[in-house]
A and B are shown apart, each in its own frame.
Chain A
Amino acid sequence: MEARIRRVYVKLACALSFAVLSTAALAQGDAVIDEIISPDLERREIREAAIDSEDFEFTVYAGGVLSVEDFGTNRMIGGSLAYHINEDFFMEAAYAESELGLSSYEKLSGSAPLLTDDERDLSMYNLSLAWNFLPGEIFILDRWALNSNLYLIGGIGNTSFADEEYFTYNVGAGIRVLVKDWLALRFDVRDHILEHEIFGEPQNTNNISAQLGLSIYF
């Protein structure tokens, strides 16, 4: 019995001493490994370069015409703000104003005009998405090689005239020639599709606009 108890004590003491020794050895090992490996783990902070971005494009319509179906063609003024998402796509918000002329019915019948002067004022805005589907260069004589884009554009908007608002789809195409990195000339042709009931029954109309714009990137 006594021998057995002694054996237990010895075993306990051995186990304790080994445990202490081995943790010490492990701790020492950890320290050595830390010393060797830590310098490689040092993270490098990467600073962002200070750089100006030019993703926005502001356009003023230097000359525009809008042909409203049945109401003749009139001068259009306006502008747009575009954001270039990547080299392929840009999104654009545009606003324009124009007016309606006399319809052929009013001209031929000689009756009282359908709309008052105020009702002939037209304003529209739209949100569109465009795809630069033919990027390229335009060569003028020997001297100039200008970057250019042919783009397809389409979107939705609101046209208001004759005291009413009309939901309008627009589709079109345009060309942009970059005179400088920050200065471009744009020519844009758009079909504004809307439905109105001015002549009594619903009528789907295609209203074509063409505008020459001058744009600045910022």
Chain B
Amino acid sequence: MTTTIRIKKGADIRLKGRPASQVDQAPSAALYAVQPPNYKGIVPKLEVKEGAAVEAGSVLFHSKEHSNVKFLSPVSGTVKEIVRGEKRRILAVVVEADGKNTERSFATVDAASLDRGAMVEAVAERGFFAFIEQRPFATLVNPSDKPRSIHVSGFDSAPLAANMEVALAGREAAFQAGIDALCVLAGGQNVQIGSKKGQTLYNGIQGADVHVFDGPHPAGNAGVQIHHTRPINKGEVVWTMHPEDVANLGETLTSGTYCAKRTVAVAGSECSAPRHINATLGCQITALTGGKVDESNVRIVSGNPLTGDTTKNDGFLGGLHHQVCLLPEGNKPKFLLADGWLGLGLDKFSLSKSYPTWLLPKSKEFVMDTCNNGEERAFVVTGQYEPVFPFDIYPVQLLKSILANDIDAMEKLGIYEVAPEDFALCEYACTSKIAVQSIVREGLDMLKKELG
């Protein structure tokens, strides 16, 4: 019997439009894309040109630094466009699907028969290092590292997140095969799964330690779970992977074809039918939303409302995202007495208690728009980050050390353990509207550059 680890700090933002457990099949999209900016810590090096024919599983580009971190095409077709931004930075490799789904074939692999080196090669060839991130730095991994352990968070606690029971339904064997492969990568019994209290999904899984967590968001963040089981020290590397990607890895290894399934939660108050959709990695947004959304009044977010990326109708599902949220744009001014700062605010969800909504029953859900609800100010209010930051780390002091470019202080204050997503609730709660996550990202990038 494993003991439940209770995460006390954190908060569940009660957004309207949570996805129902109903699962629909997405229509096949015309366009798919793999977007290098979705992956932190890589510079893409193209392996295809515009107009080239690709199979599902063909390499589109790889990481310049680690050439065995490869990014594969989820579908077969032709490379329609290489979208570039400022300084010719590659933003997306767009593939026009031919609808035939010609698949590149790989050798089938039995995890038990491979040693670690061979497994690294097998995972690299099948493009799955694109789905493994690491702490410290919260970037994609360096496949030549030997991680201390590999951590799979078995549930997503973010607002409007996909339900893992739905996403992994019927894929237990694939998930087990993926865990077997991770065990080889981690060198033995070094794979951990963080399960939610009451979740039975991982009961039969062999080879991994299952830790049970209970508590509000961000209890589902890998960083939080690692911190509460075996915190990361300087010099240690821990890899993290999403359960659906683990199942995809398992399926790819056993079937011999590239598996790029994505169960996407399409949710939010502006979504007419919030539900799960079975889709393919990198598909166009319209295939998920079932048509065009009024972009000027609705924000389309690929990922969760706290950490995701803004996208458009003709944009694409992010490579590491499992949900798409439709939220009302908050681009209209709010008069102080009506819905502004001096109003009663009976519909304003707030983690501070300065609006009376904290007295309402916990079942009430709120429509929240994307308004900043105020202007950026200096740090004034203290003690508002700590209650939503379940680490034994001083968040404000760590942020200040980053702003001061003080690498030594950042290390001492525990920057190795955190990812920007762990600070998402701090940013949400911030009275001074400070861009906390981007400060953390800068700090991590700075540290990585400094340490080489």
Answer whether A and B are interacting partners: no
